[in-house]
Amino acid sequence: MRIQDFFRHLLWVVVLVALQVLFFNHLCFWGGGKPVVYVYILCLLPQNMSRNSWLLWGFVTGLCADAFSELPGLGAASMTFAAMLAPRLMTLFATREALEERRWVLPLSESSGLRYAFTLVLIHHAVYIILEMFSFHHPLYMFYAWGSSSLLTFVVIWALSRINIVTAQQHK
């Protein structure tokens, strides 16, 4: 990873964690849905990084979010689990053209990138909700919270990616 990419990703971590802590942690939609936007950093990381780098980025991002929330360890555990599966998911959802062109990041402007991001959000939120509730006494509420949080997170991530694309086009 080039030094410019490192600092760009680090800036994204700071921005996403700040958005999560200052804004999204205080929202609760539909009685159970809370967007967790720092998952977007896993959508920005290139596939050709080492597995250790993926795990480190996921863990540190989750740990930074945990430092300012009331559930310590929850973000770090769920982000580390999602980061463990992310490179394989990216390979699974990448098109043949993307693999041949050696594009290392799936853009969310393409259907393969959207499917990758949605699956990654579903996996992250499954771990997040299971660890947060730590009980299967209310399975319907758990599925409701998982679905609504995943949907909200995906919509926010999609909006952030659109802003990122427009901003990148304006700087060219």
Q: pTM surpassing 0.75?
A: yes
Are 37 and 157 in contact, with CB atoms under 8 Å apart? yes
> CB burial class (10 A; 0-12, 13-18, 19+) of residue 15?
middle
Backbone angles phi, psi at 123, to 5 degrees: -65, -45
**C-alpha distances out from residue 110 to 101, 105, 106, 161, Å:** 15, 11, 8, 11
Which amino acid type is present at position 138? H
pLDDT tens for the 172 residues of the chain, in order: 688 888 888 998 999 999 888 988 888 777 777 889 999 999 888 877 889 999 999 999 999 999 988 878 899 999 999 999 998 888 888 777 766 665 566 666 677 788 889 999 999 999 999 888 877 778 888 888 888 999 999 999 988 888 877 676 666 6
Q: Which two tokens stand for residue 146?
A: 């998982």
Q: Return d(Cα 16, Cα 18) in angstroms, integer.
A: 5
Q: Return d(Cα 102, Cα 147) in angstroms, integer.
A: 33
User: Domains (ranges, CATH) in the chain?
Assistant: 3-170 (1.10.1760)
Q: Return d(Cα 98, Cα 95) in angstroms, integer.
A: 5
